[in-house]
A = this chain, B = another copy of it.
Amino acid sequence: MNWNRRSLAKAITLLESTRVDHRIKADALLTEILPSTGHSFRLGISGVPGVGKSTFIETLGLHLIAQGHRVAVLAIDPSSTVSGGSILGDKTRMEMLSVNEQAFIRPSPSSGNLGGVASHTREAMLLCEAAGYDVVIVETVGVGQSEVAVAAMTDMFVLMQLPNAGDDLQAIKKGVMELADLVVINKADLDSAAAARAEAQITSSLRIYSYRVQSKIPHWTPQVMQMSALKNFGVDEFWQRVSEFKRLEVGNSRFLGRRQSQSQSWMWERIHDGLKAQFQNHRKVRSQLPAIEQAVLSGQLAASTAARQLLTLALQTDST
């Protein structure tokens, strides 16, 4: 298939559609292009609003294009799944990158639950690979579940932090630090003393998780580095570290294993989401659920008994 940015954008819109005929076409397209996928490096980037993700991704993207790469940027915006609003969809972001012919930028799918949004982004990633993008960046904002989703679809997960002491504790609390293969302290030029303190603190925090991460990737331990994307300081070093990570990962053959296990988890996650949706849309379940749930809350029915009653209902033919 011959892709340009316009046909790629249209194909992604097709697979985000909820219409049944679109979904059938999208599945056929995915199956067709699947042999041409997988040849990119998939880089996940997360950080709270204001950490400077857009500036960093624009600088990095232009840097990579200058080296001959083609760069796709996708986003998962958890706020869009709740409110329809968008933290990441702002069209004025990454102005220079977005007009570059070697870049493709796509905002977050704007509807569905987080699992559905993440699934659409994974599918979009495959289309970008088939269209010849060899670096795919998936970005999200720092709100826990969306970071887990991005880490579960990328080869390397980077957490961006501000140079102040509170942030690393925030990340530890949410269990995100243990997902990070690399932590970048951005805007380090604003307060170099604070940046150095943050680097020391985060390095010490990462040590807590090092057993787990070591068992995942024997030759790479999570690292911390300082950067100022706005001043273009540290972006070169960032890509050197990514390349080193990639060399070690591919070298010990864990690269394919990680991707296979990601695909498998993705399949089961979609199955479980689908089963829940089928259950909650089942006519008999829908009609009886409120009363049964109320009986559980008021202590008239044991929760396990209620579950068995509802599961029995769900097995009956749904004559909606």
Give chain B residues whose Cβ lies under 8 Å from the Cβ of A18.
none
Taken together as a complex, chains A and B put the C-alpha atoms of A300 and B33 apart, in Å, by: 9
**Chain B residue with the shortest CB-CB distance to A172:** B208
Can you list, as one digit per residue, whether each of A290-320 has a CB less than 8 Å from chain B (1) or not (0)?
0001001101111111111011001101000
Q: Told that A34-B299, A173-B212 touch, could you supply 16 new A-B pairs with CB distance under 8 A?
A: A35-B300, A38-B299, A172-B208, A173-B209, A175-B175, A263-B296, A263-B299, A264-B296, A267-B296, A267-B303, A267-B307, A270-B303, A271-B310, A272-B272, A278-B311, A278-B314
Give chain B residues whose Cβ lies under 8 Å from the Cβ of A212.
173
Give chain B residues whose Cβ lies under 8 Å from the Cβ of A315.
278
* Count, chain A residues at interface, CB 8 A: 53
- Contact segment of A65-73, A119-127, A132-140: A119-127
CB distance from A212 to the nearest CB of B (A): 7
Residues of A within 8 A of B (CB): 23, 27, 30-31, 34-35, 37-38, 119, 122-123, 126, 169, 172-173, 175, 178, 208-209, 211-212, 260, 263-264, 266-268, 270-272, 274-276, 278-279, 293, 296-297, 299-308, 310-311, 314-315, 317
Q: Is the CB of B304 within 8 A of A270?
A: yes
A270-B31 contact given A173-B209, A297-B264, CB 8 Å threshold? no
CB distance from A126 to the nearest CB of B (A): 6
Q: Is the CB of A297 within 8 A of B263?
A: yes
Give chain B residues whose Cβ lies under 8 Å from the Cβ of A260.
297
Give chain B residues whose Cβ lies under 8 Å from the Cβ of A305.
27, 30-31
**Chain B residue with the shortest CB-CB distance to A297:** B260
Give chain B residues whose Cβ lies under 8 Å from the Cβ of A175.
175
A311-B27 contact given A34-B300, A126-B302, A296-B267, CB 8 Å threshold? no
User: A172, A173, A303, A314 — which one has the most chain B CB atoms within 10 A of its CB?
Assistant: A303
Complex partner residue of A308 from B208, B264, B270, B293, CB under 8 angstroms: B270
Q: Is the CB of A304 within 8 A of B173?
A: no
Taken together as a complex, chains A and B put the C-alpha atoms of A78 and B135 apart, in Å, by: 43
CB distance from A218 to the nearest CB of B (A): 18
Give chain B residues whose Cβ lies under 8 Å from the Cβ of A268.
307
Taken together as a complex, chains A and B put the C-alpha atoms of A272 and B37 apart, in Å, by: 33
Taken together as a complex, chains A and B put the C-alpha atoms of A305 and B126 apart, in Å, by: 13
9 closest Cβ contacts across the A-B interface?
A270-B307, A267-B303, A266-B303, A274-B311, A30-B302, A275-B275, A27-B305, A263-B303, A271-B307
Give chain B residues whose Cβ lies under 8 Å from the Cβ of A122.
303-304
CB distance from A233 to the nearest CB of B (A): 31
Q: Is the CB of A306 within 8 A of B173?
A: no
Q: Is the CB of B267 within 8 A of A299?
A: no
